[in-house]
Structure 1
């Protein structure tokens, strides 16, 4: 029972973190900061954090760095991170935090339903 509670508690903590992030972003955007600047800061801090984690835990498992890997990393950064984050921040600037938090929680549900339909 305790292992089931750990997963539930972790999920609640992550959702509280997302809600806090949404509120902070809304306050910063309403204060007049450009949306793209907010997204750039978010991605810069995430890159630094992930670099430190990778440096600590993946130090001896580094793959060969090729041009193909560099291009794929660029495309993932552009379409998988920067684009959706800019769209998210723009939506947050135009709506309420409550709506954005609800929509964020519904994303896994919509993904599951679309995946079930495509089967």
Structure 2
């Protein structure tokens, strides 16, 4: 089988997977709530800020506390919670597939 054909077949399988369909539905539902979208955007921005501080070696204790507080607030919103859970399941699927492919072409030894 041609690698491109297999990639297209995998893409079709992913687009029909329960993980993706649930993620897509949760994303569409979230788009209907501008306040929830703003809250999620704020959470993502704070996550990036904390990660940048960690990578730079700077103290991120205050930013981490802010992130934790923001996450606690956001987690009470059922739409955002559902979205984050669906996103997590879909990302696990994608990571598993990436690991399978990496093993097949001996890229897993590079870590």
TM over 0.5: no
Could you tell me the TM-score, scaled by structure 1's length? 0.28
Could you tell me the TM-score, scaled by structure 2's length? 0.30
